[in-house]
Amino acid sequence: MNKWCCPRGRKSYHHGNLRETLIKSALDILTEGTLNDLSLRALARRAGVSQTAPYRHFEDKEALIAVLKEDGMRKLGEGMKMLMESEKNPLDRLHKLGMKYVEFAETNPAHFKVMFEYELGSYAKYQDLLEASDRNFLYFQETVNECLALPGARKIDPEVAQFGAWSLIHGLSVLLMNRSLIDHMKEDYFVGLGDRNQIAEQVTELFCNSLISS
């Protein structure tokens, strides 16, 4: 191969997977830095492509962010969908949905960061993202409603319970991602809670149990 076709430091790619290459490069930037470090120019440098190449797929930074959000929502949704289809007991399913959310944040920190830390001008502009996001929340909504229909369920406003489920599991995920804070709090206040997975298990189970009268 002619050495001049691929300048040193530039990654080769097939035109068919340029979009995937750019998405991966954007996530690499976010893993190492912040949203302020992400731009189409920085993305081109990271991917080893021309400055104009990203514009073939993303009209601006917000469009890139929207695609990253959608990609993350779809990955999270895949695991949640499997639980919706396989776990019939709604309380057990709610618990596992919560653990799946925590696991996603743990294993996909860059995706999780971009999904919730960047405010878009309008979600209505990005229908695919909107649909993926709504679908994930519907998994929580449907499961919470099934829990509240069980014998012995507490009389709770379904909307409060739905938002409460999402708030708890999202807040728990954010806290557990802050390893230094969790280590400090465990050392000084919560010695008996166990490791991060045990904390997630116990807190998620506590919420699920709160939906049923003792």
Domain range enclosing 43: 12-58
**Which pLDDT belongs to residue 186?**
82
Place of tokens 């708030």: 167
- CA–CA separation, 149 vs 67, rounded Å? 37
- Whether 188 and 124 map to the same domain: the answer is yes
Q: Is the pLDDT of residue 9 over 70?
A: no
Instruction: Calculate the alpha carbon distances from 131 to 7, 98, 104, 128 in Å.
Output: 41, 20, 19, 5
Higher pLDDT, 124 or 138: 138
Instruction: Calculate the alpha carbon distances from 142 to 97, 149, 160 in Å.
Output: 12, 11, 13
149-203 tens-digit pLDDT: 999 999 999 999 999 999 999 999 999 998 888 888 888 888 788 888 999 999 9
- Whether 121 and 42 map to the same domain: the answer is no
**What's the per-residue H, E or C state across 156-207?**
CCHHHHHHHHHHHHHHHHHHHHCHHHHHHHHHHCCHHHCCHHHHHHHHHHHH
Confidence of residue 35 (pLDDT cuts 50, 70, 90): confident
Handedness of CA 110, 112, 113, 114 (dihedral sign): positive
Q: Is 28 a domain residue?
A: yes
- Asked if 182 contacts 176 with a C-beta cutoff of 8 angstroms, the reply is yes
Q: Which 3 state secondary structure label does DSSP give 212?
A: strand
- Whether 101 and 20 map to the same domain: the answer is no
Place of tokens 């008996």: 192
Q: What is the mean pLDDT of residues 130-140?
A: 95
Q: What is the mean pLDDT of residues 9-19?
A: 57
If one counts the domains in the chain, the total is 2
Q: Is 5 a domain residue?
A: no
- CA–CA separation, 72 vs 117, rounded Å? 13
Q: Is 40 a domain residue?
A: yes
**Which pLDDT belongs to residue 16?**
56
- Whether 19 and 111 map to the same domain: the answer is no
**Which pLDDT belongs to residue 99?**
97
40-98 tens-digit pLDDT: 999 999 988 999 999 989 999 999 999 999 999 999 999 999 999 999 999 999 999 99
